[in-house]
Every structure is written in structure tokens, then in C-alpha cells.
Structure 1
Amino acid sequence: MLRSLSRKFLTNNRQFSVSSALNQNVKTAVLMLNMGGPQNKDQVHDYLLRIMTDRDMIQMPFQSKIGPWIAERRTPEVQKKYQEIGGGSPILKWTETQGELMCKELDKISPESAPHKHYVGFRYVNPFTENTLEQIEKDKPERLVIFSQYPQYSCATSGSSFNSIFTHYKKNKFPSDIKFSVIDRWGSHPLLIKTFADRIKEELSKFVPTKRNDVVIMFTAHSLPLKTVNRGDAYPSEIGASVELVMRELNYSNPHCLVWQSKVGLLPWLEPSTDDALKGFVKQGKKNFILVPIAFVNEHIETLHELDIEYCEELAEEIGVEEIRRAAAPNDHPLFIQALSQIVVEHLKSDRRVNPKFLMRCPKCVNSKCGHSKNWYSQVCSQ
């Protein structure tokens, strides 16, 4: 039923280059950080290998040996999934589109900081953040805004991307002529909330009126190991805050819940899982659902395959769901582009170049790199 939805968000495998948009007079650079995704199946193994050996993302015993083994073992399965959604991840395409539209809007509403130029920095696949930083330095902007594209902060995702910038400048000369600043989280921004609410309304309108008020809105986010949560990671509470604000925007029109997807491995993670929650609700007599990827700002394998194919098609048929729809990610929704633009403008106009919360470590942090990284950001964002 939703395979056509998946196809709608994919285009031909266009290749983008950070240096392709030539601009010799960049005043404000906006570096959009994200995990990234393989653009073709040949990139899958190295992508998984980088994830499984990144101790900022995952910590496990004997990681230098177990990580490569897991990557090797999972590569064929993950390659097959990418093949089923068109051959590769559309996350680069969407990020480029979002960045172009954001900067076009920024040039209009903030001429004093124009011209603006977006750059993409991925953690585990091209364009890598460290390579993008080199390109930014060549373009010589006056200001660099490091803009996390994870709306809700987690040490495993946002933290790893920010730590990679710190690691890069431990090995390379810092560009003291560029003013650095950080946008680390924005999951409660009003226009982001309105975007998600609008996406939900789009799907609710497709249910017949007699069913509409009984549709269960299931907000789904990438899960996290409980040992990470127990160290004090802010992610679950920030996800919960986003959910609450979206439901307030919807005037609490429907029953709703927060569930978690994409668990990897055998250790305990946040629950209930999205698939277990669907099974449980069907047993209780609920038969109509909307899945909302509340932590993702663009389509990628966890929306196009896990949600659309594994849950909305295969699982829904297996357990007897009557009707299930999936709210689109923000993608290029006009409200979302306004959100990105306003977040950057508000940041540029603020005297605060880094969020004090970002400079805190989790109360039970075990990663010494985080302490060094946060001290470094405190210094460079005050120069």
C-alpha cells in the first residue's frame, strides 16, 4: 500500500558535490550535520563499518574486532534493503534541497549576514564533515554556523558529529579568521512543530470521517540503548517534548503514543518497539494508525524501508491492520524551510554562540573525549 509513497520521495541517484555551488563571496556558511546514508550499494559496507567502530555512537567490548564483523555480516541484508527503496539513500538529495531553499530564504530575510551558503557534513559517508570543513575554509566565510540536523540531541548522533569536528581540528590548524557558533538542538521550535502537525493532518484527512477520530497517532523515533539513557542522555526527554507540543498543536485530536524503532543488538533499548506496539494495539482492537517519524527531518532507509515496507506493508497485513498511513518527513515542506531559516536567523541575532546545555556532559558520562570536545567548543565559540 505504501510502496508508492516510498517511491515518491526518491529521485535518480544524483551526485552532489560540496564545491559544485561556486560562491567566492560567502559571508555566512551553514554546515548541516547529519549521519548520512549510502548513495549506492557499494558504499554500504564502509558506511556500516564506520558506524560500528565509532565509540561515540556505540560502545561494546572488543569493538575493533566485533565492529568489523557485524558490518561484514549485515552488509548483504542492508544492501538488499537499499535496493528495495531505489538503490540508495535520498538523504543527501533532501539535505541539499533543504540547504538551498534555506539559504535562498536567509538571503531575503537576513541581508546583513548574506550571502549565505549551505554545506553538508555527513558522519559516515561522503560528503564527510572533515572534507567539508576544508572546503569551507577555502571559501573563507566570516561566520560558520554548525547546524545539527538532529532536532533532538543525543550523544550517540549529534554528539558524535560534533566530536568529529573537534577531532578534525586536533589534527589540523584551526581557522582563527572564521567565527564559529553552534545550533545543537531545536526539537521544540514552533515551526518544526507546525510542520509535523501539518504532515499528520495530511494523513488524517485520508481516513473516512467515521474512523478519523479513532486513528492512533504513533510517534516513532530511533531507539537508544538503556545504558546510554541511564548516563543522562537528553534524547528521550527531548523527543517526548516534541511529541507533546505536536499534540498540543493538534488540540489532542486523537489517541497517541511514543514508540521506538531500529534497535540493533541484544542489549536492552528504549521500548516499546514500533512493531511490538502495533501488535499490542491490534490485540486491543485498534485497527487504524498513522506512523510519525518525529526525529527525522528527511526520508531515508528508516522511513522508506523500516516504516513503509516492514511495518506499513508486511507487518500490517500479517496482524490484520485495517488502515495504516505514514506521515512524510519534513523534507521540503514550506513551513520546515521557514523553520530552518528562522532558527539560523534567531541564532545569528543572538549574543549567545553556543547553548550552555550543549557544553554540559551527561552526569554519568564515560567518554573523556566529550569533556575535551566541549571545552574546545566553549573556547572557539567565544573567540
Structure 2
Amino acid sequence: MNLGGPSKESEVNDFLLRLFSDGDLIPLPFQKYMAQFIAKRRTPKIIDQYNKIGGGSPIRKWTTEQGTAMEKLLDKISPETAPHKHYIAFRYASPLTPEALQEMKADGVERAVAFTQYPQYSCSTTGSSMNELYRQLQEFDPERKMKWSVIDRWHSHPGLVQAFANKIEAGLQKYSAESRDKVVILFSAHSLPMDIVNRGDTYPSEVAATVHAVMDKLKFCNPYRLVWQSQVGPKPWLGPQTNKAIMGLGEKGHNDQLLVPIAFTSDHIETLFELDLEYGEEAHEAGITGLKRAESLNADPVFIQAMADIVKEHLKETSDKISISKQYSLRCPTCTNETCRHSREYFSDQ
């Protein structure tokens, strides 16, 4: 399960419409009408951005490669649960959740794992995908013949931490030996509206936990900060914003900065356009010549091994136990979304 992205120009408007229609991700007044207005207004701009990174999002390509490599590895390391097959359920672009469920139903799947590709949990990402899965299952499997369990977060898994650490070490090698240990590591994650944060969403703390685990693995070799990108609209969002942090550090004499997309498991528009092109151009114009980015995880073998290990351990743990984690069973303290309650009850009662 992941956000997804349009693979070609003709899919951009529908992608944006689904995204801005999702109250779990971006709560808006008069959501249906505002979503249509915003999507229509933003479509030309977003099409231009995708054209600058090759004409579409690579997230489906990378997700397919990740899933295929993971299932092959799982067949080897967990033969007792083989054969394994991955299905992609994107939230806002094809293949959408109904498409994945249709394929699974046609294949006669009886045991399924909802595996979020957002390592850090948020109600606006994993929570939204789980709510959509719950809604669609009412239609696709009303008799509940398919048994589900949920991997809802894995932000501090040792394999994930090692994969990020490896990418950072490789990124630091791009700097001279004299300046390498002074490079500021900027961990950049997608931001959240503060009203979501303030109702008790665990995302900020889980992203911070990933950052701390990675820096611990690296023996805190460099100064670092956690910053936030992709703010949309005038409402208050979690900060500081990545581009403002880059500029602020540059003004303080920190020319060498290494961006690390810490909440994304593959390249897409937020890395290829926002970090590389948009922020890169802003930094260059401001005279910051040492801004670089660590490579995304994509199909990195260490990362694939981590995914396979996570699923293997999960299948072992859920063979005769409850199908969701204790953290997923707990709603945000001030949550008023009844779908969140129903989806948690649904997946805990397997």
C-alpha cells in the first residue's frame, strides 16, 4: 500500500482529485467542491513538474520491482508460507485498492497481509489506505473469506535503518575528505497539517525515531536536523520547511548539506522534482553549492532483504495470534473519524 502517482499526463487530474478528496490526508471545508477546484487549478502546474522528471511518476515501476524481488526472496527464506505474491494498492493512482482486490479475488487469495510502504505511521497515509481497504472489502469480500493481517509501521526495523545508513555513507563520500564530517545531514519527510499532529498522530515521533536510529547506526558522525517538505495551502503545517531550512543553514555558513528523504521508500515527484530540481535551484541561486541528495532506497538489496524479513517475521507472529499491532489498535486521542474505528475493529476481528 502506498500513495501512488500518475504514470502519464492524462492521469494527473484524476490523481489530484482523489488526493484532495481524501479528508484523512487533507481535510478541507466543502471537501467535494474544494477538491474539484484545487485539482483543476493545480493540474497544469503538476503536469509541468512531471514533464521535468520524465513525464510521469516512477513509483509504480519501483513498487513493482520491490514487490517482485521481495516475493522471490520470501519464497526462499520462508518456504513454509510460500508461494508469495505481491499486489499493489495505491491510494490515488492506478492500480487502486479495488483493482488490487479484484485481482486477488480472481487469484483465489485466502491469506493476505496489508503491508504499508509508509514506514512511519500516519492516519493521513497508512490510516487512509486502511480505511479505503476496509470500505472496499465490504463489497469485494462481504463473507470475509479472505483472512487479513496488518503491517502498519516499521520505522525502526534494523534492515530499514541499515539501508538508510548505507545511502547516507555513500552520499557523504561525494564530499571532500576535509569537509565530510562537517556536512549537515538534513532528513526530509513529508509534512503534516498541525491539526492532524495535534489530535495525536504518531507520525512526527516515528519519523524522529527513524532519524535517531539511523544516526545511532552512523555513530552520530555529522550534525543533522529533521525538516519537513511538501506543505500545501495556507493552514499551519509541521515545520521547519525543508527549503527554508536549507536557506537558513546556508546563511549561517553551512554550504555543504546532504538531503535524505527519510519517509519515502522510492523516488517520486517529492524527491526528483521537489528536492532535486526545485530546492536544488533555489539553493544554487542563493550560492549554496554543496547541496546534494542521498539516493532513495528504490530496489536496494539491503532494503529488499528488510522488507522480506519484516513479512517473514509478521507471518510467523500472526500464525495464531491477533492480526494487528497494539499501536494500530489505538486511535488518536481526539479522533472523531468513525471509519477509523470500524476499520480497526474489522482487521482485529480476523
TM-score, scaled to structure 2: 0.97
Cα displacement string for residues 227-261 of structure 1 (whole angstroms, at most 9, x for unaligned residues) = 00000000000000000000000000000000000
Q: Which residue of 2 aligns with 1:69?
A: 37
Residue 12 of structure 1 is matched in structure 2 by: none
> Which residue of structure 2 lines up, in the alignment, with residue 40 of structure 1?
8
Contact 2:322 2:348 in 1 (8 A): no
Deviation readout 1:353-377 (Å, 9 max, x if unpaired): 2112111110001212111111111
Please name the residue that 1:16 is paired with: none
Instruction: Indicate if the aligned counterparts of 1:38 and 1:88 stay in contact, CA closer than 8 A.
Output: yes
5 Å matches for 1:187-266?
Answer: 187-266=155-234
Q: Which of residues 317, 320, 325 in structure 2 aligns to 1:355? A: 325
Q: Residue 102 of structure 2 aligns with which residue?
A: 134
CA distance in 2, matches of 1:332, 1:169: 30
Q: 1:104 to 1:173 in 2, by over 3 A?
A: closer
Match of residue 336 from structure 2: 366
Counterparts of 2:322 and 2:169 in 1: how far apart (Å)? Answer: 36
Q: Distance in 2 between matches of 1:173 and 1:344?
A: 23
Alignment partner, residue 330 of structure 1: 297
Residues 1:344 and 2:311 are matched in the alignment: yes
Note the C-alpha offset of 1:298.
0.4
Identity of aligned residues (%): 50
Partner of 2:74: 106
- In structure 2, C-alpha distance between the alignment counterparts of 1:190 and 1:174, rounded to whole Å: 38
For 1:206 and 1:352, the matched residues in 2 are separated by 46
Q: Between Structure 1 and Structure 2, how many residues are aligned?
A: 347
**Partner of residue 89 from structure 1, selected from 57, 66, 69:** 57
Match of 1:375 in 2: 345
1:267 is the counterpart of 2:235 = yes
Q: Which runs of 5+ in 2 are unaligned?
A: none
- Determine if contact 1:110/1:345 at 8 Å carries over to the other structure: yes
Q: Does residue 246 of structure 2 align to residue 278 of structure 1?
A: yes
Residue of structure 2 equivalent to 1:157: 125
SS of residue in 1 equivalent to 2:188 = strand
Root-mean-square deviation (Å): 1.0
CA contact (8 A) 1:215 1:289 kept: yes
Corresponding position of 1:3: none
1:50 paired with 2:18, answer yes
The one-letter code sitting in structure 2 at the alignment partner of 1:200 is I
Instruction: State the secondary structure of the residue aligned to 2:210.
Output: helix
The 4+ residue runs of structure 1 with deviation greater than 4 A are none
What's the counterpart of residue 170 of structure 1?
Answer: 138
Aligned partner of residue 299 in structure 1, secondary structure: coil
Contact 1:298 1:329 in 2 (8 A): yes
Q: In the TM superposition, what whole-angstrom CA distance separates every residue of 1:338-363 from its partner, at most 9, and x where no partner exists?
A: 00000000001103421121111100
**Structure 2 residue identity aligned to 1:144:** A
1:100-124 deviation per Cα after TM superposition (whole angstroms, max 9, x unaligned): 0001100100011111111101111
Q: C-alpha displacement at 1:139, in angstroms?
A: 1.0
Shift in Å, 1:175: 5.4
Distance 1:370 1:62 in 2: 21
2:132, 2:104 → 1: CA distance? Answer: 16
The reply on whether 1:181 has 2:153 as its aligned counterpart is no
Distance in 2 (CA, whole Å) between partners of 1:369 and 1:104 is 35
Quick check: 2:2–2:129 contact (8 Å CA) kept in 1?
yes
What's the CA shift for 1:302?
Answer: 0.2
AA at the equivalent of 1:369:
T
